[in-house]
């Protein structure tokens, strides 16, 4: 949730980002947080034990 909020905050200041404003790093933090969440969720899904039912 925080990662998405940071991306939106950076998107609001889109023109400032184009000029090289420090707000660019807010968007990068949001993007990095999203990537970490994606990685952690993916690893948890892969490592989750599967329940197999006998037919």
pTM of the model: 0.53
Q: Is the dihedral of CA 25, 29, 31, 35 positive or negative?
A: positive
DSSP 27-47: HHHHHHHHHHHHHHHHHHHHH
- The pLDDT tens digits of the residues spanning 45-55 come to 998 887 777 66
Q: pLDDT tens string for the chain (55 positions)?
A: 677 777 677 666 665 556 666 766 777 787 888 889 999 999 999 988 877 776 6
**Between the CA atoms of 30, 32, 33 and 38, what dihedral angle is there, to the nearest 10 degrees?**
130
pLDDT given at position 15: 58
Tokens of 27: 């968007």
């Amino acid at each position: 949730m925080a990662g998405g909020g940071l991306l939106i905050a950076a998107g609001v200041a889109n023109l400032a980002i184009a000029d090289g404003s420090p707000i660019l790093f807010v968007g990068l933090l949001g993007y990095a947080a999203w990537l970490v969440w994606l990685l952690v969720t993916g690893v948890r899904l892969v490592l989750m034990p599967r329940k197999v039912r006998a037919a």
